[in-house]
Amino acid sequence: MTAISLTVNARAVDADVEPRTHLADFLRDGLNLTGTHLGCEHGVCGACTLLLDDMPARSCITYAAACAGARITTIEGLDEDDIAIELRAAFTREHALQCGYCTPGMLISARDLVLRLPVPDERLIRVGLSGNLCRCTGYVGIVRAVRSVIAQRRQRGVMPVPGGGRTQLGPVGSGNTAKTPSAEAETATPGKVAAPEQNARAIVIPDVVPAQTVTHQFTVAYPPDRVFQMFGDVAGVAACLPGVALTGAPTPERAEGVITVRLGPIAAHFQGAARIERDLAGLSGRITGIGRDQRSRTTTQGEIRYRLVAVDQGAATRVDLSIGYSLTGVLAQIARPGLVRDLAARLTAEFARNLERRLAGIAPAAAAAPSLNGITLLIDLLRARARKILQQVFGT
Ligand code: FES
Ligand code: FES
């Protein structure tokens, strides 16, 4: 159990929570605040939306234990709120609810729009509410209600609050919550890269027991000793990995850097360090690393083991890779093992292409691709899977 202190609807709350309890369960089961609804519990439908440090956030993909020091406002906490009062009246007037299941989350997101938008622009309202799904499909009435509240407030001279008062955007809250003690890399400021000597002090690389392991192979048309030599060039290898940027000069045993992964609207910047071990006799090696994305409070630990095998009478090299990883935190809930496996396969393929280019003296293409676009990967993935299913069905 983890002891936390936080503020819920302006009331101080102290509680012991299981590390895996999400914020919505904590509020509903622990505090009887059942106005926060649960639909998908995957961060998709928006039914569980509430305010975390004054920003709309999905409580089903937010750990309660990560909210120590945070200020939570649920729909119950907006009883006396000016905007919420106007929105409730407008929802009634415009028939903006039917079963009402989506309504608490919808009101929280709508309140944020009323606060921020200077004019009642329908397109912006629809975009702003696109993360809240209404299974009764009452969107026309909902949009009409939100437009009317914005229009009336601006007519009365109530000015919008730029950015809704927020200073940062991110998947869960404004980042004002208390820091968790286990976050070695958490002292880093988002968007800024810590000096290498600071990182060297802050980041400890523990031994890893991976929760998931995937294996891959690829072949490059160069002899093993040449490839092994290339693997010893830490900066060169990093340049072959899409989304990776070193934050200081590496040594043969250690490197520090940032890996950026973009999954649709969510960008994660894992800042961390890696320990490098090589075995010349066995033409093999191991890279052990840890990285933390401060915004989503997600930590990843992993290891890459490689072994080089001579093929084509030593003219080419088969690279056997074993990639093990563990993911803890918010992103662990949406990063399904299948998606991560396929992502690793794509990364490996891109790494192999870049490695081959580098061995041939050509600059790796990864330098121009600083992040991974999860949507593109997802679409490619779905295409590949659809192709596979069609081949199985029609035998083509
Ligand atoms: S329950 Fe659907 S987003 Fe949280
Ligand atoms: S009113 Fe029924 S889900 Fe939106």
pLDDT, one tens digit per residue, over 108-147 is 999 999 999 999 999 999 999 999 999 998 899 999 999 9
Work out the number of other CB atoms within 10 angstroms of the CB of residue 169.
12
Predicted pLDDT of residue 201: 44
Q: Which one of the ligands is nearest to 106 CA?
A: 2
In the chain, pLDDT over 90 holds for what percent of residues?
A: 40
Q: Cβ(40) to ligand 1 under 6 A? A: yes
Which residue minimizes the CA distance to atom 3 of ligand 1?
43
HSE-CB at 378 with a 13 A cutoff on CA atoms is 8
Q: Which residues of the chain have pLDDT under 70?
A: 165-204, 208, 262-267, 329-341, 343, 364-396
Q: Is any atom of ligand 2 closer than 6 Å to the C-beta of 101?
A: yes
Q: Which atom of ligand 2 is nearest to the CA of 134?
A: 4
Nearest in space to 169 (alpha carbons), one of 150, 190, 148, 152: 190
pLDDT at 143: 97
**Nearest by Cα to 310 from 222, 230, 178, 205:** 222
Q: Is the CB of 41 under 6 A from ligand 1?
A: yes
Q: What is the pLDDT of residues 335-365, one digit of tens each?
A: 556 666 676 777 778 888 888 888 888 876 6
pLDDT of residue 186: 37
Query: Cα of 43 to ligand 1 centre, how many Å?
Result: 4
The 3-state DSSP class for residue 7 equals strand
Cβ of 351 less than 6 Å from ligand 2: no
Q: Which of 32, 27, 59 is nearest to 46 (CA)?
A: 59
Closest ligand 1 atom to the C-alpha of 43?
3
Burial class (CB in 10 A: 0-12, 13-18, 19+), 270: buried
Distance between Cα 133 and ligand 1 center (Å): 9
CA angle (379 as vertex; 376, 384 as ends), nearest 5: 125
Which amino acid type is present at position 396? Answer: T
Task: Locate the ligand 1 atom nearest the alpha carbon of residue 45 and give its number.
Answer: 2
- In angstroms, the CA 112 to CA 164 distance is 7
Rounded Cα distance between 162 and 192, Å, is 24
Q: Indicate whether residue 134 lines ligand 2 (CB < 6 A).
A: yes
**Pocket of ligand 2 contains residue 95 by CB under 6 Å:** no
Ligand 2 and 273: CB distance under 6 A? no
Ligand nearest to the CA of 95: 2
